[in-house]
Amino acid sequence: MVIKPFANQVPFDFTLEENVRKQKEAIEYVRKQLGKEYPNIVGGKEVFTERKTKSINPANHEELIGTFQKAGQKEAEDAMQAALKAFETWKYTSPEERAAYLFKAAEVVRQRRFEINAWMILEAGKNFAEADADTCEAIDFLELYGREALRYGQDQPLTPYPGEMNKYFYIPLGVGICIPPWNFPFAIMVGITSAAIVTGNTAILKPSSETPMMAWLFQDIMHKVGLPAGVLNYFVASGAEAGDYLVDHPKTRFISFTGSMEVGLRIIERSAKTNPGQIWIKRVVAEMGGKDTIVVDSEANVDDAVAGVLTSAFGFQGQKCSACSRAVVDEKVYDEFVQKLKAGVEKIKQGMPEENYQMGPVISASAEKSILNYIEIGKKEGKLLHGGNKLDRPGFFIEPTIIIDVDPMARISQEEIFGPVLAVIKARDFDNALEIANNTIYGLTGAVYSMNREKLNRATREFHVGNLYLNRKCTGAIVDVHPFGGFNMSGTDSKAGSRDYLALFLQGKSVAEKI
């Protein structure tokens, strides 16, 4: 197998009218398919349940994307048995064969890229560029993890020892539960699932109830490239019922989760308990929340800082775990920054994702309610600079909202909001700014704008986040360029998109033979 060196997929340029036209045509093609019902796929077989999950367009909640199943404990046990059965043969499949499925899938995703983008635009409310970046990242995960599986599949180098022949190699763990989020509904879902299966494990993929269509597309692609039945089981289910059952199951070997801190900690707690029949310690790979800060130093280029903050705070409506939710600004440039920030946010246009507006809706009615509640809290904790309102139109649209003069320990400065809400905090100096930047329970992403090299060096040492960016936005991590994962309550720092990542789904075995 001749494999070219890994290279990132280049996003489409949507300033080109040809790409805009193709994307709009794909949206029309997808719209003609809306409203269908999709089964779960367990052990290669279609499974329907009495209860259903409805996926709707967050920009128009009267538009049904599709009807999906809502499985319970009985179906969860069936999925576990199918995954266990498939593991008995899949674990012995060569790394080359497993990687080949990922490479084939990456090629299919490339061919269907506009279509996949279109489903995401309608189901998740992303604009064209945000959706395409998501799809590109999925391709990158497939390509990188396929190559890395080949590397991990080799015998690992050891120090020679007289009189012995020694080998050290990696073997898979077993059945894993993959629980992706809705905010990167294709990329993260593809990443955590492909990492699990390419290393020889079998997976039960439980997608978010907000974006089950994106996971359906992936399982359909994997089926069409010939992945054996039971290796990947598509399982839309009740989290409280089937999700807990699978996390607790004695045959579950690992859980790969991306989502909120509250749910992640609950999974970690439940996984730590040994259930009857369990013979291993469950492994949890968790990427959780963030309360991400951009520091604007007195020696920053203020115009660049404003642009970076606006993009980081309001890209995809602030619904990225990496989104900037706090700008900590040196008092020497605070007034200038706020003035330019207000002028910048007023230029943001909001509307239907299918019309490629810069900002669209938040994901759901419950998210909308939570965000609006935080905005009311914020109005009491600071001064409303812009926004704060729900738009009077179908869908879950909230204006980009900025609250200034916020105390560093205020609730909107400490709690993850996961929406288009930015708190602006005044710092006395750079020391104070770093102190504030580190004052939350999270540690995912952050950025510093400064022209002072010593300050940037200090931030590199002292700003305690898994992904730090200097003089650029704090969103937009690229596979194998910015390995992604955070500290503290932001997760296990599993570093998705890194050369280390596949080790989380493997265990090392040493074999020594006397000569």
- For 226, the token pair is 């010939």
Answering whether pTM is above 0.95, one says: yes
CATH architecture of 292-479: 3-Layer(aba) Sandwich (3.40)
- Determine which one of 136, 178, 321, 474 is catalytic: 321
Read off the pLDDT of residues 50-77 as tens digits, 9 standing for 90 and up. 999 999 999 999 999 999 999 999 999 9
The dihedral built from the CA positions of residue 362, 364, 365 and 369, taken in this order, carries a sign that is negative
- Mean pLDDT within 467-491: 98
Token couple for 26: 């794909």
| pLDDT tier for residue 195 given thresholds of 50, 70 and 90 | very high
Whole-number Å distance between alpha carbons of 390 and 387? 9
Q: Does residue 178 have an active-site annotation?
A: no
Mean pLDDT of 6-21: 98
Q: What percent of the chain has pLDDT over 90?
A: 99
pLDDT band at 413, cuts 50/70/90? very high
Could you tell me which residues come within 8 angstroms of residue 499 by beta carbon, excluding any fewer than 6 positions away? 148, 480, 483
pLDDT in tens, 101-152: 999 999 999 999 999 999 999 999 999 999 999 999 999 999 999 999 999 9
Query: What is the pLDDT, as a whole number, of residue 355?
Result: 97
The CA-CA-CA angle for residues 358, 359, 360, to 5°, reads: 130
Looking at 1.10.357.140, 3.20.20.70, 3.30.2130.10, 3.40.605.10, the CATH number of the domain 17-288+493-514 comes to 3.40.605.10
The pLDDT of residue 1 is above 80: no
Domain coordinates in residue numbering, the chain: 17-288+493-514, 292-479
Tokens 């991400």, located at residue: 292
The owner of tokens 């916020």 is 406
Asked if 321 is an active-site residue, the reply is yes
Q: Which of 115, 130, 287, 416 is catalytic?
A: 287
Q: Which residues of 65-87 are buried (b: 16+ CB within 10 A; e: fewer)?
A: bbebbbbbeebbebbbebbeebb
CB count, 10 Å around CB of 480?
A: 18
Closest CA to 216 of 123, 106, 323, 311: 123
Average confidence score pLDDT of the chain: 98
Instruction: Give me 135's structure tokens.
Output: 């799809």
The predicted-structure confidence for 283-295, as pLDDT tens digits, reads as follows: 999 999 999 999 9
- The strands making up 292-296's β-sheet, listed across from edge to edge, are 383-386, 401-404, 421-427, 324-330, 292-296, 445-449, 467-470
What is the pLDDT confidence band of residue 2, given thresholds at 50, 70 and 90?
confident
Using left for φ > 0, alpha for ψ between -120 and 50, and beta otherwise, residue 261 falls in alpha
Question: How confident is the model at residue 311, as a pLDDT?
Answer: 98
CA distance 128 to 121: 7
Least-confidence region, from 143-147, 219-223, 237-241: 237-241
